[in-house]
Structure formats: structure tokens, C-alpha cells
Chains A and B, each alone.
Chain A
């Protein structure tokens, strides 16, 4: 029964002879399909939401560049997922990687995959690939060249996301071992968190980091992004049941409760430490709670989700306080929020998993010590692979193109240098250039100095 959750896709489309799977595969269910259609749209919304979350946290002169790092993933990762990524992740292949049997969506049609159309499953999974690579951008904002980032997105989705996804959900070795990852604690968050560490170390800190106060330029954006992420996350976790059933209901409720508990604990810590409850802190707490409950959502009881959310606040909160005092410029705390949140969630899934709720697997708390060990192994394996491969990809890219911006671009802001646009401009001092006067300029000087709106 446990396999029903962790290897669902593999069982259904690879013809693994499991009687229940074949029965279910016989028919597409309208309710299940409806819920997955909605869920896919909800998860897709999370990437623009992330753009607002991240965009508000950077300086005004890099707001568009930061938001574009999320938006470009919708295109590049979306296209590559359909062409190659999906097959590499969910093709039968080996325990380590899928194959090219479904490349270019070959054989991915309207036939049933479980109780939903195969094509819809591909799309649902595609939205996960998109947001995972977009999450990494938080570690490299304000200093990575946009062309290099675009190339990175493509390579990372194929060489890091697809294999890790295969290990856990595509019939690979972690899934076979029985690692529990309901909606992507390891596949999405630990994966992105490890990549963020590697990318931040590869690029080095921003020039102004540790010398100037680098403040969020638009905190309401941060709150807007966090709110929309929570909304989308109901599809992320609820949809991961791949059906409109009780497990989806459980995951949905746990997605409501865990971040609520994180929010309460986080604000208490904030208040104890500084006497004030910060808005950026609240937004961060919501994301941490959502990340932590992701691997556990369909495996633990609602009360366990509350406990899990409350506990998850602690490592991330203190890691953020510590990180800001180091030279480790993981600019928007991708590791502290997603990496540590994911690790905490994955480990606590091995503690709180309850057969009474998920129908098969108990965790440490209910006497199954081995499950905790399997969870720990999945954390280490995903972290090591993602960190090492991410570093290798960036190293490879640096051999063919500049990956980091030069000092002047960093000073001017990447919005002007890479996009030829500013987030906030009132047009004062901007002269209209008529066609005959227009000359292509690679790095135009700003019309007005970038400033806060």
C-alpha cells in the first residue's frame, strides 16, 4: 500500500504488474482529472508567486532581473521538461536515471495513468520541475549574468532535477528503498537548497554584501508572494495524491496547519529576540512551514503536521540569523528556508508517518526506526548529488561564458544591464529617441539613477 504513494507513477505507466494498479489504470476518473487540472494550475501559479516573493526581497535596481529568473523558468524548464526531462525522470531506464522512451512526449497521450490522463500527469510534474529550478535563483540574485542563468536552468532541469525525480518518484532506487516524499521534500526543496549552496559558493558574495545594508525594496511584494505560494501549495501537496480522495484531503489540511504552526513559533521567536514581529519574518515562516510539510503531507496526522510545522521553525530561523553574519551570501536564504526546511520535513516524515493515516507506513514515533534511517539516507544522497552536479554545471558554464556580472553591471543594477528596463521609473530625464537616432547599445546607461520607488 505504501508503494501506492511513493511509486504511483512508475507502477502505472511502466506496466509493473501490480493488480490494483492495473485495475485503476483501466479508467480515467472525471473527479480525479478535475482535481489534477486545478492542481496543475495552482502549482504553476507558485512560480510567479515566487517571483514576487524573491522580487520584493532584493534592491529596486535588481527587481525585474530577480523576477525574470522565475519567469524564464516557466519557459525554458517548461519546454525542456516536455522534450526530454519528463522521459529522463519517468522513463523506465535504470535505478539512477530514466530513459528516452518518452522523449518528445512519445507515447504520452490521453491514455490513463492511474486515474488521470497520462499527458496531465506529465504537465503536473512539469510545474514541479519549473518551480524547483526557479527556487535556486534566490541564491544567485543581484550578481549572476542572465544568459548564464538561462543556460543553467536548462542544464539543471535535465541533469539534476530529472535524475533526482527519477530516484524518488520515477521508479528509482530511493523509491524502491521506501523513502517517503509525498510532494517533493527531497525532489524539490532539498534538491534546490543544495543547488543554492553550491551556486552561492561558486559565485561568491555580492560586492556590497557585508559592506552595505542590502534591504528588501518592496516588503508588500514579499507578503503577496508568500500568500500566493501558500494558495498554490494546496495544489502542490493536495494534487500529489494524484486523485480526488481522502489522501488529497489529508494533504490539503496538513498544508493548512503546518505553516500556521510555523508562523506562530516564528513570530514568537521574533518577538522574544527583538520585541517586534516582522513582516519579512512572517512571509519566510509561511514558506518554511510549507516546505517542511511537503514530504509529509499525505503521510502524517493533522496533529503531527502541527508539531512538524512548529519544530520546522527552529532550524530555519536560527540558520537565517547566523547566515547573515557570515560571508556565505545565499542572498535570499534558499538553503535556510528550502534546504533546511526540506531536511527537517523529510526527517520528521520518518518520525511522524502513521499507518493509521496513510494506510501503510509508520515512522519512528510508531516504532518503525528503519523509516527514519531511510529518510536520512535520502536527505544525504539528494543533497550530495545536487550540490556536486550544480557546482559542476556552473564550472562547465564558466568555461564557455561569463557566469558572474562585472562590477559595473552589479553597481548599475541587472535590470538595466540585462533587460534594458527599470522596475520603477517616472520618465523624468528620459529623452525620446526617434528611430533614426536609435543606436543599438549593449549596456545603455540609466536614464535616471536607479532608486527606490
Chain B
């Protein structure tokens, strides 16, 4: 089991979600974040005050997956989030010790297996 943390451009979020759903990956959490990833800072001017914005808006996805889904998830994000410009983001793959589904108490792989609607 892995936790896949992906930091992507906000404007690519819709495409990434589509690609993930196509790969049958459904359990995920989306967070708006700000960070610095080496891209050029933007300058803004408010009357006489000019400021350089060091932080850029990004979206972070947290996706807990069982081992067979690790590669498809990464593939989906890589293909859908890429523009080729600096600032496309990062994917971190973290080991996971334990997963519980709160509703049922199911553990690990059972806890991240999507529920098929009746």
C-alpha cells in the first residue's frame, strides 16, 4: 500500500481527475496549497507598491492505493498534469503502515477497494 501525494497545477486538476477516474482510482483528497517549486516568480503592482509573489497556487492530491493501483495512478497523473513548463509539480510515493475504512472497520487493501454501488 502506498500514499501517493501529487502536487499539480490547479488548472490541470480537471484533466487529472478524469485520468484517475478512467484508471478506476476514486478515493482521493484534494487540497489547495501554495508553494515554491523553482518556477519564475510573478510580479504584481498595487499603486506604488510592487511585490514579487514567491509562492504559487497549487493543488495537492492525497491518494491511498493498494499495490496494483500504484503504477496506473502515477501514469494517470504524469500524463494529465504535464504541460512541459517549469511548475508542473511533483509526485511523492510514501509507504503506508495501515489503512482503516471508518464506516466498516475494514483494513488495508479492503479499506481502499472502491465500494460498488448496489
Contacts and interface: CB of A to CB of B under 8 A. Distances in A.
Interface in B41-100: 44-51
Interface of A: 213-216, 274, 276, 278, 280-281, 284, 320-325, 333
A325 B48 contact: yes
A280 B46 contact: yes
Contacts of B45: 274, 276, 278
Sorted nearest first, the 10 A-B pairs with minimum C-beta distance are: A324-B48, A213-B51, A321-B48, A320-B48, A324-B49, A320-B47, A280-B46, A274-B45, A216-B46, A278-B45
Contacts, number: 29
Contacts of B48: 320-325
B68 to A, nearest CB: 37
Interface string B28-42: 000000000000000
A214 B47 contact: no
Contacts of A321: 47-48
B46 A215 contact: yes
A325 B48 CA distance: 8
28 contacts: A213-B49, A213-B51, A214-B49, A215-B44, A215-B46, A215-B49, A215-B51, A216-B46, A274-B45, A274-B50, A276-B45, A278-B45, A278-B46, A278-B47, A280-B47, A281-B47, A284-B47, A320-B47, A320-B48, A321-B47, A321-B48, A322-B48, A323-B48, A324-B47, A324-B48, A324-B49, A325-B48, A333-B47
Contacts of A284: 47
A281 B45 CA distance: 9
Nearest to A319: B48
A122 B24 CA distance: 73
A82 B96 CA distance: 73
Nearest to B47: A320
Contacts of B47: 278, 280-281, 284, 320-321, 324, 333
Contacts of B49: 213-215, 324
B34 to A, nearest CB: 11
A333 B49 CA distance: 12
B50 to A, nearest CB: 8
B44 to A, nearest CB: 8
A325 B49 CA distance: 8
A446 B44 CA distance: 30
Contacts of B44: 215
Contacts of A281: 47
A216 B49 CA distance: 11
A322 B49 CA distance: 10
A214 to B, nearest CB: 7
Nearest to B49: A324
Nearest to A332: B47
B115 to A, nearest CB: 28
A215 B48 CA distance: 11
B33 to A, nearest CB: 14
Contacts of B50: 274
Given A215-B44, A274-B45, A276-B45, 10 more contacts: A213-B49, A213-B51, A278-B47, A280-B46, A280-B47, A281-B47, A321-B47, A321-B48, A323-B48, A324-B49
